[in-house]
Structure formats: structure tokens, C-alpha cells
Amino acid sequence: MADIKSNLSEIYKKIEEAQKKSKKALAPVKLVAVSKFHPAESVIEAIKAGQNLFGENRIQEAAQKFDFVRSQGYTPELHIIGSLQRNKAKDAVRIASCIESVDRIELMEELEKQCAKISKSIEIYFEIHTGEDSKAGFLTEEALFAAAERCAAGDFPHLIPAGLMTMAPATDDESQIRRSFSTLYNLRATMNEKYPSLKIKELSMGMSGDFEIAIDEGSTAVRIGTAIFGSRA
């Protein structure tokens, strides 16, 4: 069994150290504890250790788990970080405060529709493909800018574009990982120049294996699972 409490305090220490060393990490770095494949009991253990922000990548699993955790009187915040099908948008909007894996306009249209139905606003991050092996995220700047333009035009009143998200490739080549993260860092500047009304702030980048590099490259939120909850059997 993973010692969730001591893992969390270890991670927070490392985050702080990485942030102190980084010239690009200016805002406090948030920790999204990725609890996918781990049971509700592990989430509750993390909450009791002071963690309130979680990430999940499958809606059905997340809904079951977090409905239960909330029924126990806890009030964790949840981000969806995995690729999202349109028919899961309704549940996603119900259980989460942020969808980090927004990768196409059709999904934004569905999220807007579901948010409007329940009068809820939700944060979205644009997921950007920066070199990871799977093809998750916006693949071209054209597609990303088209989506941002629709937001700037006011087409999605319930969606708050708050950040960018990426996954670096799984490789030992640190320069390749850094290139991924710096691409996201530079893209934020480009987007805020092009669409100043959107005020993109967050850079969600960095996982168990590369979060210190991500912070060095300006991450504002790291998504960490294995180093907190142990391996996913």
C-alpha cells in the first residue's frame, strides 16, 4: 500500500524546490492528484492529508468514485484530464469544475449545451499535442486558433478558457521533453497576444516522471498519479 500522506508531502516539497529554482514558474504551482484506477478510499485518504484537487480521465469511473466521496461529506474539486467523448459531456460537466482535455470545437459545443442546461460555468483548458505518442489534443495551431476565436466571439458563454494542457512524450531524452513544455509556454504568450480577452493563465504540464522539468519550463499545474497513489495495477 502506498503511503499517500507521506507521498503527498514529499511531492509538495519537490514542487516547492523546483519552483524556487525555476525562472519561468512565477505563480504558485498547483498539484492535481490523479486518482484514476485507485479507489474512493484512496481519494478520501488524500483529502484527509489536505489534498483537495483531483484529476480523473474516465467519466464513468470518476462519477462513481466522486459521487461516493461527496456523499460522505467531502468536497473535493475534480478536473477531467482524459479524452472526452461527446456522449460523456453531460456527466463530465456535472462532476467537474474543469475539463483539461478540450481538443475540438464539437466537444466545446456539447459542453456549452450541457452547462447551459444546468446553469453551470466550467473552466476549460485547450489540450495541445506537443509530441506525445498518442495523438491527443489539438494537432495544429489553425484548429486551436479557430476554437479560441469562437470563445473570443462569445459563442460559449458557460465555458471559461483558463489554460493549456499537454503531455510530453514518454522518453529519456530530456531535450525532447523540454521542447514539449516550452512549446506550451510559448503558445500561451501567442494566444494571449492574439486573444487578450481570453486571459489564458494556466499551463497544466508535468506528470510523475517529468514534473520537475515541467516546473522549470513554467508549469502552473502538475498532474501526478503514480508518485502519490502508487502504480496502477
Ligand X SMILES: *Cc1c(COP(=O)(O)O)cnc(C)c1O
Contact footprint for ligand X (CB under 6 A): 34, 36, 57, 81-82, 167, 207-209, 223-227
Which residue number, 17 or 199, has a Cβ lying nearer to ligand X?
Answer: 17
d(CA 146, CA 205): 23
Q: Closest CB to ligand X among 65 and 158?
A: 65
Q: How many CB atoms lie within 10 A of CB 102?
A: 26
Q: Which is nearer to ligand X, 82 or 218 (CB)?
A: 82
Shortest distance, position 211 Cβ to ligand X, whole Å: 8
CB of 34 to ligand X, least distance (A): 4
Q: Report the candidate in 98, 66, 99 with the shortest Cα–Cα distance to residue 82.
A: 99
Question: Nearest-CB residue to ligand X?
Answer: 225
| Nearest to ligand X of 100, 158 (CB atom) | 100
Q: Least separation, in Å, of the C-beta of 36 and ligand X?
A: 6
How far, in Å, CA of 101 to CA of 179, rounded? 20
How far apart are CB 90 and ligand X at their closest, in Å? 21
